[in-house]
Amino acid sequence: MTGHPSIPSLGPRPSGGRIRVLLADDHSVVREGIKAVLKKTAADILVVAEASNGTAALDLARRTEADIYVLDISMPSLNGLETMARLLHRDKKTKVIMLSMHDDRPTIEKALRAGARGYVIKESAAEDIAPALRAVHRGQRYLSPSASSVELADLIDASSGDLPMPSAGLTSKEREIIQLIAEGLGNKQVARKLGITENTVHVHRHNIAVKLDIHKQTDLVRYAVKERIVAL
């Protein structure tokens, strides 16, 4: 699936010091819903750009001044965690809120360990998104109250110290290739999408198989789903 992000005017910072947001989610209904809620209830917040996948979000990030990035954790082309990793590599001070339908502790902790400043459950996004954006903009953390089984303080402790996200030693490119393979792309399609040779894809796939001890494509897809690299 490919996305065609809409790019509004990228002029000077909005008057009144409004919080500028780049929103990325592969479901247009989610993006439209969030924008409608913010327009109606949060005059201090402005969505300055939107994208339907992680690759498009990164492209927009290079051309758009945003204070906070709201990223769907499960996006095609490049998922939210990998998109966030690349944003943080560019600027460690980048503020990201992860948007997800998953409210389990392992997924939330994984997002925080990876660098997310906030985590909003999609089911309650209409109520949570504005408070989350304001809290993160002030330098605080935010976790949707609907994730009732998870204590934010415990998660902050668990994610402190810039601990690396478990990844079996996978490189950023290898995780990206795993996602594309799990989305059904063949080696030739992966090579074309990433701008590399098909032989390079073969090398990456060999390294992935060795690192994960996974040698069947069906097992690799299961791994990608389990690790939230891709969503079915």
Per-residue pLDDT tens for 196-212? 888 898 888 988 888 88
What's the pLDDT tens digit per position in 117-134? Answer: 999 999 999 999 999 999
Comparison of pLDDT for 44 and 223, the residue scoring more: 44
Pick the CATH number of 19-159 from 3.40.50.2300, 3.60.20.10, 2.130.10.10, 3.40.50.10490: 3.40.50.2300
Write out the two tokens for 144. 């949707």
Provide the residue ranges of all domains of the chain, joining segments of one domain with +: 19-159, 172-226
Would you identify the CATH topology of the domain 172-226? Arc Repressor Mutant, subunit A (1.10.10)
Q: How confident is the model at residue 228 (pLDDT cuts 50, 70, 90)?
A: confident
Q: pTM (2 decimals)?
A: 0.71
Residue 69 Cα distances to 20, 114, 199, angstroms = 9, 14, 35
Residue 187 Cα distances to 46, 151, 190, 192, 219, angstroms = 40, 42, 5, 9, 17
What's the pLDDT tens digit per position in 139-178? Answer: 999 998 877 555 666 665 555 544 344 456 778 788 889 8
β-strand partners of 110: none
Q: List, as own/partner pairs, every contact residues 207-212 make where C-beta atoms lie below 8 angstroms and the sequence separation is at least 24, other chains included.
A: 207/174, 208/170, 208/174, 208/177, 208/178, 211/168, 211/169, 211/170, 211/174, 212/168, 212/170
What's the pLDDT tens digit per position in 1-56? Answer: 334 343 333 333 444 589 999 999 999 999 999 999 999 999 999 999 999 999 99
124-159 burial: b if 16+ Cβ within 10 Å, else e = ebebbbbebbbbbbeeebbbbeebeebebeebeeeb
